[in-house]
Structure 1
Amino acid sequence: MIYSPKLQKYLAGFSLSILLVADLVITQKVLPAFAETINSSISSAVTFSCNDSEATIKAKNGPRVVNGSSAFYIGYQQVSSNNKNPVTIRFNNSIKSWCRTDYETTNDDGTGYGLYWNGGDVLYGVYSSTGSQTGSDFRRFATGRWLSSYGSGGGPKVAVIARINPANGEVNYATFLSAKKADNGNTNSLVVQTLSWNGTNLTVQAKSWWTPRRANTNSMTCTGSSPYIYTAVFTGDLTKVNSASAATCS
């Protein structure tokens, strides 16, 4: 078969184009997916155990913080019909690094519902407490901190903020964070909503019922009805609140 010079030139160019496209496909590198980073997470507590896989826990859509291939999750174990205990776990590449269920093991109906992690050595957990009970709880970590215990009364749900060693899950120290009734001094409810870290101080925004606490832990004077949007700026070691404020309170 005889091709015209023009057709031969066309076929040669077409073949070269195919070769170039094929070479591009072969040599093109697939870019890696961006590493996921979640520094802060506050949400409803979920239940899981130390034996659960990361996929199982993640599917519950509870609080988690992530940096690259490492992730922390927080929640609770239902240890009896009327008692929960908090649980905190770390995974590296979906392999369990550690899991802690010993922070609070009393009859206090405690859960974990918030985390902050800077991706390095700063990790805070947010837990709930409904009153002091006999046994091991966060009080042993809170000696010398801003609030060292749940306080008077029992029933209203308050927060506990704990600084945790990311490498092994040991609690370095903790503080309770609660409201204080202005009439009788009993403890009242407080729920943490956000955490942020500036390298020195931990800022906590919360819903506080009557009434929020001043930096010196005394009750504020408030107008209007609760809950109040409350902001407290803690030193990193949780020994002091540098400032505390709430809308319609002083």
Structure 2
Amino acid sequence: MKTYPLTKLLTFPSLSAFLGANLALTPITLPAAAQTTPVSSVGNGVTFTCNDTEATIRAKNGPRVTFGTTSIYIGYQQVSSSNKDPRIIRFDSGVRKWCRSDYENTGDDGTGYGLIWNGSTASTGVLYGIFSSTGTQIGPNFTRFTSGRWLPGYGTGGGPKVAIIARIDPTNGNIQYATYLSARKTSDGKTNSLAVKGLSWNGTTLTVQADSFFSPRRVDTSSMICTGSSPFKYTIVFTGDLTKANSAQVTKTTTNSCQ
């Protein structure tokens, strides 16, 4: 049998050197936290309860946002012949994670009808909900979330349907803060109707597109001066914490305008 000198057998690089060289050539890079483009859904609210299955709620084709196997739905429950209360629910792989029925439990005829979400299920995830209000009544209502925000209340009067924008913790459905968004009549200062039609998020600001009746609000919440007929195509851009509006404008047409 042929033999070889021990020194010849040891001429290969050591295992640690080999691994070190290869790791240097092919570094392992862990993926960064996903930054997903937000999805939004705004439409007519549908009725459901916290006991309904995801299949039941999904079949009603109301506003919902979905990433992977997680979906969040928004709507309302008819609690009496003349009163609706908002509802929002999250499912993970068809299993209810949470459902909130406690945002507003007064005689206000409220509905949830819009969502925008970036897919993050962490407490820092970007999730906003859109709700409607027809007036402030005594009891648990959205004003407990709006202190210090752009528009903290419904205003004077009652009946016209306005919007509420709420930042929501996607882990449990808690509202972190909210603002009202309404029109304001120049004739008597009373609140007038406004309905959100679209939402977008750029990482720092929330852009809201809405149909507003006389008269849309400026960034300082005062009424714009408008000519023509309602509704006006209104766009307002909020800071992420909903404490102020960076811009507010109405799309000018051949028949109406605001300033």
On whether the aligned pair clears a TM of 0.5, the verdict is: yes
What is the SS of the residue equivalent to 2:248? strand
- 2:229 maps to 1:225: yes
Give, as a single letter, the amino acid of the residue that structure 1 aligns with 2:209.
Answer: Q
Partner of residue 249, structure 1: 258
Partner of residue 23, structure 2: none
Partner of residue 50, structure 1: 50
**What is the CA deviation profile of residues 61-88 of structure 1, one whole-angstrom value per residue up to 9, with x for unaligned ones?**
0000000010000000100110000000
Partner of residue 161, structure 1: 165
Partner of residue 208, structure 2: 204
Give the C-alpha shift of residue 39 in structure 1.
Answer: 1.0
Give the C-alpha shift of residue 195 in structure 1.
Answer: 0.4
What is the SS of the residue equivalent to 1:231? strand
Partner of residue 153, structure 2: 149
TM-score for both structures, normalised by structure 2: 0.82
What is the SS of the residue equivalent to 2:153? coil
- 2:154 maps to 1:134: no
- Measured in 2, the distance between the counterparts of 1:225 and 1:182 equals 14
- Measured in 1, the distance between the counterparts of 2:65 and 2:186 equals 36
TM-score for both structures, normalised by structure 1: 0.85
- Identify the match of residue 235 of structure 1 among 224, 234, 239: 239
1:26-45 residue pairs with structure 2 within 5 A? 39-45=39-45
Partner of residue 108, structure 1: 108
Q: Tell whether the 8 Å contact from 1:165 to 1:172 is kept in structure 2 after alignment.
A: yes
Give the C-alpha shift of residue 38 in structure 1.
Answer: 7.4
RMSD: 0.9
4+ runs of 1 displaced by more than 6 Å?
Answer: none
Q: Tell whether the 8 Å contact from 1:211 to 1:222 is kept in structure 2 after alignment.
A: yes
1:44-83 residue pairs with structure 2 within 5 A? 44-83=44-83
- 2:84 maps to 1:88: no
Q: Tell whether the 8 Å contact from 2:63 to 2:74 is kept in structure 1 after alignment.
A: yes
- Measured in 2, the distance between the counterparts of 1:38 and 1:180 equals 31
- Measured in 2, the distance between the counterparts of 1:223 and 1:185 equals 17
Give, as a single letter, the amino acid of the residue that structure 2 aligns with 1:194.
Answer: G
- Measured in 1, the distance between the counterparts of 2:44 and 2:193 equals 16
Give, as a single letter, the amino acid of the residue that structure 2 aligns with 1:174.
Answer: A
- Measured in 2, the distance between the counterparts of 1:235 and 1:213 equals 16
- Measured in 2, the distance between the counterparts of 1:102 and 1:179 equals 26
- Measured in 1, the distance between the counterparts of 2:143 and 2:194 equals 18
Partner of residue 192, structure 1: 196
What is the SS of the residue equivalent to 1:60? coil
